[in-house]
């Protein structure tokens, strides 16, 4: 098994009184889809933000190839090969596809942007994604949800990042576009990217994940292999399973104790 590209060790993040992440350990490897699942408010987007430099953790550290790094902005994360597509795509509706792909990333291209070179590179990225975008000179406002998602991914792929974070990429998509995005994630994995896929739709995650981390109330509530059953994931998401110790397997909360109690004659104890 390859060494992790990126690791979070004991990462915590608070927003005022809200503990969005608590003592989180996560490893991200190349050629792998790490899925993060959890209920609304579980801390998934905060985790994405920490990995992609949008949030500085209050505690713990971020390791890149085993060495501590400070990712104090998305731009800093990008220079370290980490890119993200956030839940809000942050595309500019009235700009066309090429302008959106290069938006805010002029630093990657030097001060004088050659329109033709940019257009060529945009097509190149979209081709890699086998995307069906009618024209790169069309305002993104005219594109479908799936096509907009592809443009956002193309933007993230600029500069060939090693780690790609996708926060809820299938939310608000039809089934056909969801299929496109899932195929795209498989392709990114095959090409060797480390993909961090965030969703609260367990079915979509299970379709493409190598590993699944369950977040609950900001804590890691278990790490599972990609072929874990839906019931086990749901149990971890809803808290029917105790948080696992780092590296250890998740344990069912309804283990020996309740059974012993029942055997002891208390009868109707149900959890």
By CB under 8 A, tell whether 227 contacts another protein: yes
As to burial, measured by CB atoms within 10 angstroms (0-12 exposed, 13-18 middle, 19+ buried), residue 67 is: exposed
Q: Rounded to the nearest 5°, which phi and psi values hold at 6?
A: -135, 135
Residues 87 and 71: their CA atoms lie apart, in Å, by 19
Contact 208, 189 (CB under 8 A): yes
Using CB under 8 A as the criterion, what x/- string covers residues 120-159 for binding another protein?
Answer: ----------------------------------------
Q: Which stretch binds ligand ATP (CB under 6 A): 44-52, 58-66, 100-108, 158-166?
A: 44-52
Of 45-53, 67-75, 171-179, 249-257, the segment contacting another protein by CB under 8 A is 171-179
Q: Does 229 sit near another protein (CB under 8 A)?
A: yes
E-only strand ranges, the chain? 6-15, 18-28, 32-37, 59-64, 67-69, 82-85, 163-167, 194-199, 211-216, 219-225, 241-242, 251-252
Which residue in 10, 15, 124, 245 binds ligand ATP (CB under 6 A)?
A: 15
Q: Is 214 in the site for another protein (CB under 8 A)?
A: no
Q: DSSP states of 88-121 as a string?
A: S----TTSBHHHHHHTT-GGGT-SS--HHHHHHH
Q: Say how many CA atoms lie within 13 Å of 233 toward its Cβ.
A: 25
> What would the x/- binding string for Mg ion be over residues 44 to 63, using CB under 5 A?
xx------------------
- Choosing from 22, 163, 164, 207, the residue that interacts with another protein (CB under 8 A) is 207
Binding site for Mg ion (CB under 5 A): 44-45
**Residues within the interface to another protein (CB under 8 A):** 1-2, 31-32, 174-176, 178-179, 182-183, 186, 190, 202-203, 205-208, 210-211, 225-227, 229-230
């Amino acid at each position: 098994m390859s060494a992790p590209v990126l690791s979070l060790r004991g990462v915590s993040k608070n927003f005022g009184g809200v503990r969005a992440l608590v003592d989180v350990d996560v490893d991200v490897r190349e050629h792998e889809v790490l899925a993060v699942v959890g209920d609304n408010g579980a801390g998934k987007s905060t985790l994405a933000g920490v990995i992609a430099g949008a949030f500085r953790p209050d505690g713990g550290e971020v390791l890149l190839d085993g060495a501590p790094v400070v990712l104090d902005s998305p731009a800093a994360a990008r220079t370290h090969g980490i890119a993200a597509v956030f839940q809000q795509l942050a595309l500019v509706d009235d700009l066309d596809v090429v302008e959106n792909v290069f938006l805010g990333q002029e630093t990657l291209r030097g001060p004088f942007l050659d329109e033709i070179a940019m257009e060529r590179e945009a097509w190149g990225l979209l081709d890699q994604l086998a995307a069906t975008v009618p024209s790169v000179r069309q305002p993104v406002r005219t594109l479908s949800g799936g096509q907009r998602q592809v443009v956002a991914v193309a933007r993230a792929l600029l500069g060939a990042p090693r780690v790609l974070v996708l926060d809820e990429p299938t939310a608000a998509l039809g089934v056909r576009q969801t299929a496109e995005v899932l195929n795209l994630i498989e392709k990114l994995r095959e090409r060797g990217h480390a993909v961090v896929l965030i969703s609260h739709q367990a079915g979509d995650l299970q379709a493409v994940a190598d590993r699944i981390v369950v977040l609950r109330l900001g804590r890691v509530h278990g790490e599972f292999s990609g072929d874990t059953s839906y019931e086990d994931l749901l149990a971890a998401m809803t808290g029917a399973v105790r948080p696992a110790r780092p590296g250890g397997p998740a344990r069912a909360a309804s283990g020996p104790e309740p059974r012993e109690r029942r055997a002891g004659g208390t009868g109707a104890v149900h959890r």
